[in-house]
């Protein structure tokens, strides 16, 4: 009952997500060691599209030192719904993804250059 009141973000089983990702990475290492290119491609695609990898990626971004600083996209994740939305948004990252240009920010120097 109490589990339904929690947001989707808080219901994520992080230990299971880490274990799943670790297993996929171990399989990738094994395929690389055996020089099995086809297997490597399959495993890489499964890592990129797996919920575990996407959830851990979002968690790493929002838990680092610069978590309160907006990136190029001017987005700061302030609540659990936004965090979970980003996991879903990353699901289709391989389809038609095009990186946006880097934003240049000039930092004023003490010598006015």
Instruction: Among 3-12, 32-41, 67-76, name the one with the lowest average pLDDT.
Output: 67-76
Give the per-residue pLDDT at 26: 96
> How does pLDDT run across 83-92, given as a tens digit for each residue?
888 888 887 7
Sign of the torsion formed by the C-alpha atoms of 39, 44, 46 and 47? positive
Query: Could you tell me which of 29, 9, 31, 10 has the C-alpha nearest to residue 21?
Result: 29
> How does pLDDT run across 38-80, given as a tens digit for each residue?
999 999 989 988 999 999 988 988 887 777 777 767 777 778 8
What is the share, in percent, of the chain residues with pLDDT greater than 70? Answer: 88
pTM above 0.75, yes or no: no
Q: How far apart are CA 109 and CA 93, in angstroms?
A: 38
Q: Return the number of other C-beta atoms located less than 10 Å from residue 44's C-beta.
A: 13
């Amino acid at each position: 009952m109490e589990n339904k009141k929690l947001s989707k973000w808080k219901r994520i089983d992080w230990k299971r997500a880490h274990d799943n990702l670790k297993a996929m990475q171990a399989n990738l290492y094994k395929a690389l060691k055996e020089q099995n290119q086809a297997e490597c491609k399959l495993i890489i695609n499964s890592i990129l599209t797996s919920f575990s990898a996407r959830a851990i990626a979002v968690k790493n971004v929002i838990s680092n030192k610069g978590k309160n600083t907006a990136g190029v996209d001017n987005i700061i994740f302030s609540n659990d719904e936004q965090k979970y939305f980003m996991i879903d948004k990353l699901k289709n990252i391989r389809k038609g993804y095009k990186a946006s240009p880097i934003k240049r920010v000039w930092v004023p120097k003490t010598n006015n250059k």
